[in-house]
Structure 1
Amino acid sequence: MRKSDLPPQLRATCVPIPEKSGCFAVVPLPVPTFIDVPSCHALILLARRELDVLREVIADNQAYADLLLHMLNRREAVDSSQIEGTRTSFDGLLIHEINENTDQAQSDADADMTLGYVHAFAYGAEQIDQLGPTALNQKLILDLHRLLMAGDGQAAPGHWREIQNWIGGFAIETATYVPPPPAEVPRLMADLERLFQYEPEGPAMVSILMRAAIAHVQFEAIHPFKDGNGRTGRLLLPLMFKADGEPPLHLATFLKVRKQDYYRALEQAQKRLNWAPWLTLFLECVIASCRHTVRLFSVLRAIQTRWKGLLAAAGKRRDAAIWKVIDLLLGQPVVTVRAIAQRLGVTFPAANTAIDELVRFDILRKMDQTQRRDRVFHAHEVMNALYTGLDGVLLEVERQTRSAPGLARV
């Protein structure tokens, strides 16, 4: 990173790095609460409308909402972790979670890291439920990092970094971006906390869409941890939405689809103060996430209706365990007999019978049993629905932004 590549405002904040001649760290400017990008005005309105639609659909489908959001949270954990290079798949995470703290548990650092996202989000959501927006403070961020990076002592879980880090390149001399010196981290995070606990100045209210987008760029520019900054920064996004009374939008799945655009847009905002690419990408991912989730509700209803029709046609008693299992599968599409028995409070034989019958109906399919004692099954229709159409909905949003007046892409 060359100092000369930076705009004058950032060049003025640069700090020389000791013993690294010609290398400078960038100290981000004070966090703004609003960035005026005229090309994104209409896109913000569209994103707001899609978010309102999603909130209404969730309210109208409470029977499915908790199950679906439970499943989307785990998809998010997988995709956010895979952006950083982990290899754990969605079904791999669910199996790892089922076996956690049992004699079936297997050592898997990638799966542990991915499951750490699930634990961290659950903790953050609980704190917000108890304390409201004030829960989003520096202590919570440190706690989230501690849970997210548990088991990786090299990452100093739960502590601000005490070393100079950098982004991109094998050495600081060839880095694409050098965050501020460690001594600046506490001050900068205190400044960012103001955005997490936003209070409007006067009658104007800055939308959570704008605040979340800005907060993510600033967090990644500060890069406050030794490792795990990307995962922690993406984890804060759904928590910010939740604290604002919105559905906890999980955006990592769509940012992963546009991974290179994601990195370039962050770099443009951090190094050039050019916010248009990032705001455009962020809002498009918000719209895509809302639309895909709304469609998932319809798909899951159709799947469950078909399943119930199959059971009814076969004359299955309404008090049989099999009916409870098909409800569970909408939010837990990977199961074992033991997990079904424990989750539903039924006997092992009853759970086993239900699963065998669901296999005959092709509602469940047996998964690869390599090195596993428990039989593992998956609801293939639910799994397919979860990942089908991600590219398509993003392309749909892109086409809309290119063709509609006021929605021109940057």
Structure 2
Amino acid sequence: MKRDHLVHAVRERLVRLPPPHASHYGVVPARPPEAGIALTEVLSRLSRASQAIGRVQALAEDMEDHFQISRILKRQEAISSSAIEGTNSTLDELLAVEDAEDEDARSQVRQVRDYAVLLDRLVPEAQARGPAIFTLDMIQRLHAEAMRSDSDYRDVPGKLRQTVVWIGGGGHIAYSTWNPPPPDRVRDCLLDTIDYLRNEGLQAVHQNLVTRMAVAHAHFEAVHPFRDGNGRVGRLLLPIMMAADGTVPLYLSSYIDAHKDEYYAALKGAQQQLEWAGIVGFLADAVIGTVDELMVTRRALKRLQGEWIGRRKFRKNAASTRALDVLTNHPVLTVKRLGQLLDVSSAQASQAVDQLVAVNILRERTGYQRNRVFVASEVLTIVNRPFGAEPALPERPNDATA
């Protein structure tokens, strides 16, 4: 880490690292700024982000549970956030673990599942408790649960690091771009992040939600409180902050994954130069882009459902009819799982699946006679497309008649 890359106020926070890295220095981040921040250059982007959040709020008001717009969005968040850290899974694999009850999934898929399950639990908890949810114990439990399936993790999941870490440099601290604080300063620095997350200071008056998300995220990543998994935990905190604020949570990791260079540059600017406008503007763009993507996806799924209805005569309230609404959130499932979701008997669920297979809404993918898994592949085609790509409705097969 080169000193001349650091603004004077950051250089003043340098402390010598412990052996065997005593010839290097780490940065003890100052407390996150609570007063107003110079954001003139990104005010228009912040305004558009607030409008985008308002669009989602209006949409959510018409839904039964507006803090969980889509189960699939959480799964995509888990996949994208994990991919940024090099842990790769596909949406198909993840849904198979959950809905098709695949207990033989590889370690990386289980890690992504753990991330998604955390969101399922913590988003409603944050909505209920508000910013009081943020405690040292909560952050440590968040890390412990997110990392529990990572067999390569060398520390105890959830335990604050006791070793020196650095960012960048290809494994050599001499070439790093950022050296977080030494282990004996980590706890106090993380408590500064948590105090800011609880939103009890001047930031509640001077900073809007997107600004607070950006500042908290940059500060958490600067502290780097764990040996690994900090990026995952830092991105988990973003939708949790939104829910704690009473706002419908957005899942921004797909945008971040598609714009990684800009993301890392904005983090570096905030941490090395205290240039907060860059990371605030990036998070504003992430909100805008994510909401736009959400709206495009919802419209495409509505069109797909309309096309499904034209494939056969669906009886009102029949299990097969009700399944059409279920499949957009559960596009990979078993007969047993569909029966649970619809609260119908196994025979009714099996009949519904047979009817949907007959018109190519579902297809069986295992080839087995038992423990069969069914996939709504047209849903996966829409929701699993690259970020920003136009959804293409698959052409209806010629034999899709009833």
Q: 1:195 to 1:239 in 2, by over 3 A?
A: same
Aligned partner of 1:116 in structure 2 is 114
Match of 1:242 in 2: 243
Partner of 1:17: 17
1:38-77 map, 5 Å = 38-60=40-62, 62=63, 68-77=69-78
Kindly tell me: are residues 71 and 239 of structure 1, through their superposed partners in 2, closer, same or farther at Cα, counting changes over 3 Å? same
Alignment-derived partner of residue 269 in structure 2: 268
> Could you tell me whether the CA contact under 8 Å between 2:217 and 2:238 is conserved in 1?
yes
- Cα deviations across residues 186-234 of structure 1 (Å, max 9, x unaligned)? 1112111222111354994421110001100000000011111000000
Tell whether the 8 Å contact from 1:329 to 1:379 is kept in structure 2 after alignment: yes
**Out of 93, 101, 104, which is 1:106 matched to?**
104
**Aligned equivalents of 1:56 and 1:88: distance in 2?**
33
Amino acid at match of 1:376: V
Mapped to 2, the partners of 1:99 and 1:386 lie a distance apart of 18
1:345 to 343, 366, 369: 343
1:296, distance to aligned residue in structure 2 (A): 2.8
Q: CA deviation at 1:263?
A: 1.6
Matched residues in 2 for 1:273 and 1:30: separation?
Answer: 12
Inter-partner Cα distance in structure 2 for 1:77 and 1:337: 26
Unaligned runs of 5+ in 2: 391-402
Q: Deviations over 1:1-47 (max 9, x none)?
A: 12232111111111112332531111112111342121101111111
CA distance, structure 2, for counterparts of residue 66 and residue 361 of structure 1:
33
Q: Deviations over 1:121-167 (max 9, x none)?
A: 22322432442221122221111111111133624212211111111
Q: Distance in 1 between matches of 2:389 and 2:342?
A: 36
- Identify the range of structure 1 (237-246 vs 332-341) with the bigger mean alpha-carbon deviation: 332-341
Shift of 1:107: 4.2
TM-score (structure 2 length as normaliser): 0.88
Match of 1:321 in 2: 319
| 1:320–1:222 CA distance, 2 compared to 1 (3 A) | same
| CA distance in 2 between partners of 1:281 and 1:204 (Å) | 22
Distance 1:320 1:203, change over 3 A: closer
Displacement after TM superposition at 1:249 (Å): 0.9
After TM superposition, the structure 1 = structure 2 runs for residues 1-400 of structure 1, keeping only pairs within 5 Å, are 1-19=1-19, 20-33=21-34, 34-60=36-62, 62=63, 68-100=69-101, 104-152=102-150, 154-168=154-168, 169-199=170-200, 201=202, 204-311=205-312, 314=313, 316-367=314-365, 369=366, 374-388=371-385, 390-391=387-388
Structure 2: distance between partners of 1:300 and 1:251 = 20
- CA positional deviation for 1:319: 4.1
Is this contact kept in 2: 1:292–1:389, CA < 8 A?
Answer: no
* Distance in 2, Cα, partners of 1:120 & 1:84: 17
Letter matched to residue 355 of structure 1: V
* Equivalent residue pairs, number: 385
Q: Which has the higher helix share?
A: 1
Once the two structures are aligned, what percentage of the paired residues are identical?
Answer: 32
Partners of 1:47 and 1:283 lie apart in 2 by: 5
Change (3 A) 1:70 1:140: same
Q: Distance between the aligned counterparts of 1:113 and 1:372, measured in 2?
A: 30
Tell me the SS of whatever aligns to 2:374: strand
Residue 154 of structure 2: SS of its match in structure 1?
helix
> 1:261 deviation in Å?
1.8
Structure 1: tracts of 5 or more residues without a match? 394-410
Kept after mapping to 1: 8 A contact 2:67/2:123: no
- 2:377 partner letter: H
Relative to the length of structure 1, the TM-score reads: 0.87
Identify if the C-alpha distance between structure 1 residues 319 and 385 changes in structure 2 by more than 3 Å, giving closer, same or farther.
Answer: same
Distance in 2 between residues matched to 1:128 and 1:266, nearest whole Å: 25
8 Å CA contact retained: 2:114, 2:146: yes
**CA displacement at 1:117 relative to structure 2:** 0.6
Question: Given that residues 333 and 379 in structure 1 are in contact (C-alpha distance below 8 angstroms), is that contact kept between their aligned partners in structure 2?
Answer: yes
Partner of 2:397: none
